[in-house]
Amino acid sequence: RFRMPISARTAKVLEIVPLQEEPSGVSPVLPEFLVWENTSLLEIAAGSSGELSITVENTIGNPAKGEVSITVDDSWKILPASSVQVELEPYGIRTLVFEITVPHEVKGLQGFAYSVKLDAGRQPFEFSQSIDIGVRKYVERQAEGKKCFQVKYLAQIPDGRLPDELQVLNDLSVKMLPGGHKASPAQARFAWNEDVLVMEFTVKDELHNSPTVGEMIWQGDCIQIGLGFPRIESDTAQYFNQYEIYLANINGEGYVSCSEKAYDQYLQIKTERIDNETFYRLSVPKRLLREMYEGKKFPFTFTVNEHNGNTFIGWQEWTPGICGGKNKGAWGELQLVE
């Protein structure tokens, strides 16, 4: 008696019991390869991702190699790739996991297929299986009570400053400036296209104190940003990794630092000080934000840290969550719109 998995949506096991007499047309030989899959894609929202795992088992004493491929429309995203090479040791077993992202524009009954091709020096082995899934319409969920600022689309984003006609975010209603200190006027503008998200901040203060790089950078004049980077494309914010980014003008040079240090090399900053205004521009590329499309939202907030030339005097921010106690759940959101 042995157990043989059969390709299916959910785990199925076939128990084969030897008969007393071998009937005609039945071979007692185990197939050279066994293939089965498991997937979370049976019902999913458009724009979301799910996993497809494909397991291949070699039942003979020869090594085998070949490929596992997924056939689907080009608008679907497949990681690590739509075709993966595979090698099996004698009697070996391999499980390959694919992350499949459903496009935002599709809905209803959809389908794709996968195939397995292997060669162990005998008759080439080929197996294919189609999978049907139900796709719900993409609906961006609005988090209750969260501030949301809409970011306009610009097909061509200028290298200089963003156009004045773009909406300004200047509602820095959360302030901690004890001792009668006044908040420096500050505002932000944003723009996006298929390749980049651009943020610009201006702060008007008579004296700019260059911060010191390190753990206490926040004690100088600088900008702190809270931004969610998608971990898996989805219509819910629970799949975001939320990091803090520092922007600073240090002796006339731009400085940017993310709490996820691997991202620093991709973030671009421009900064300048003209008269009594400090300007910061941050460009966040698509490779960190994944797919860019109308309606997409990112967890976001920002803080303006203030120094009067003698000491750190406090901060002002769009929403709570950075200063005065870390609380990523209190951040607002940026929403990409046309």
Average pLDDT of span 238-254: 88
Closest CA to 90 of 65, 53, 126, 114: 65
Q: How far is CA 309 from the centre of its chain?
A: 40
Mean pLDDT value across the chain: 84
3-state secondary structure of 239: helix
CATH class name, domain 2-136:
mainly beta
295/300 Cα distance (integer angstroms): 15
Assess whether pLDDT exceeds 50 at residue 228.
Answer: yes
Average pLDDT of span 53-80: 90
Q: Write the pLDDT tens digit of every residue in 198-225.
A: 999 999 998 899 999 988 899 999 999 9
226/331 Cα distance (integer angstroms): 8
Assess whether pLDDT exceeds 50 at residue 3.
Answer: no
**CA atoms within 13 A of residue 221's CA, in its CB half-sphere:** 29
pLDDT of the residue at 10: 44
Amino acid at 75: S
Delimit the domains of the chain by residue range: 2-136, 148-337
Residues ≥6 apart with Cβ < 8 Å to 258: 243, 244, 245, 246, 264, 267
pLDDT of the residue at 247: 96
Assess whether pLDDT exceeds 80 at residue 197.
Answer: yes
pLDDT of the residue at 20: 57
Fold of the domain spanning 148-337: Immunoglobulin-like (2.60.40)
SS3 of 102-157: the string is: CCCCCCEEEEEEEEEEEECCCCCEEEEEEEEEEEECCCCCCCCCCCEEEEEECCCC
Q: How many CB atoms lie within 10 A of CB 176?
A: 16
Range with the lowest mean pLDDT among 17-21, 57-61, 310-314?
Answer: 17-21
Pairing of strands 196-204, 277-285: antiparallel
3-state secondary structure of 263: helix
Global pTM reads 0.58
173/170 Cα distance (integer angstroms): 9
Assess whether pLDDT exceeds 70 at residue 17.
Answer: no
Q: What is the pLDDT confidence band of residue 8, given thresholds at 50, 70 and 90? A: very low
pLDDT of the residue at 22: 56
* Contact present, 209 and 311 (Cβ < 8 Å): no
Tokens of residue 8, six digits: 């299916």
Q: Write the pLDDT tens digit of every residue in 117-164.
A: 999 888 889 999 988 887 766 554 444 568 999 999 999 999 889 999
Closest CA to 111 of 120, 102, 119: 102
Q: Write the pLDDT tens digit of every residue in 43-53.
A: 777 777 788 88
Q: What is the pLDDT confidence band of residue 41, given thresholds at 50, 70 and 90? A: confident
pLDDT of the residue at 175: 84
168/200 Cα distance (integer angstroms): 10
Q: Write the pLDDT tens digit of every residue in 164-186.
A: 999 999 998 888 888 778 889 99
